[in-house]
């Protein structure tokens, strides 16, 4: 289970707003805000939804390993920018199979 601090850090790393994270995860924006500010703790199912949404965006959560918990990017900054650019291009949806 991730902490509110990890959620806030991961959101910053993957450059997503609370509103967009709310849309992607189905967890209310006010619930996310309170979780990140340590004003409340959502139920385990909501935390799992937040973690899955952030991992889908490239965050990797690091558990307690003697050095403390943390978060890092799955991709380099350049790769993350490239993916974001490509995802924002739009266009026709088609099969990726090459004949």
Domains of the chain: 4-85 (1.10.260.40)
Q: Rounded to two decimals, what is the model's pTM?
A: 0.73
What is residue 79's predicted lDDT score, i.e. its pLDDT? Answer: 77
Cα–Cα–Cα angle for 40, 19, 16, rounded to 5 degrees: 100
Q: Please give the helix or strand (H or E) that residue 61 lies within, else none.
A: strand 59-62
- Please report, rounded to a whole number, the percentage of residues in the chain having pLDDT higher than 90: 60
State pLDDT tens for residues 52-96.
999 999 899 988 776 778 888 887 777 777 877 777 776 665 665
What is the chain's percent helix, strand, coil content, to nearest 5?
Answer: 50, 10, 40
- Best CA proximity match to 40, nearest among 26, 30, 27: 30
CB atoms within 10 A of CB 8: 18
Q: What is the mean pLDDT of the chain?
A: 86
What is residue 91's predicted lDDT score, i.e. its pLDDT? Answer: 63
């Amino acid at each position: 289970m991730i902490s509110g601090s990890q959620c806030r850090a991961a959101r910053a790393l993957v450059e997503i707003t609370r509103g967009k994270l709310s849309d992607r995860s189905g967890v209310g924006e006010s619930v996310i805000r309170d979780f990140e500010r340590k004003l409340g703790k959502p139920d385990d199912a909501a935390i799992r939804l937040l973690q899955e949404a952030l991992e889908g965006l490239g965050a990797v959560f690091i558990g307690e390993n003697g050095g403390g918990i943390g978060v890092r990017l799955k991709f380099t900054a350049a790769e993350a920018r490239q993916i974001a650019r490509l995802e924002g291009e739009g266009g026709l949806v088609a099969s990726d199979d090459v004949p």
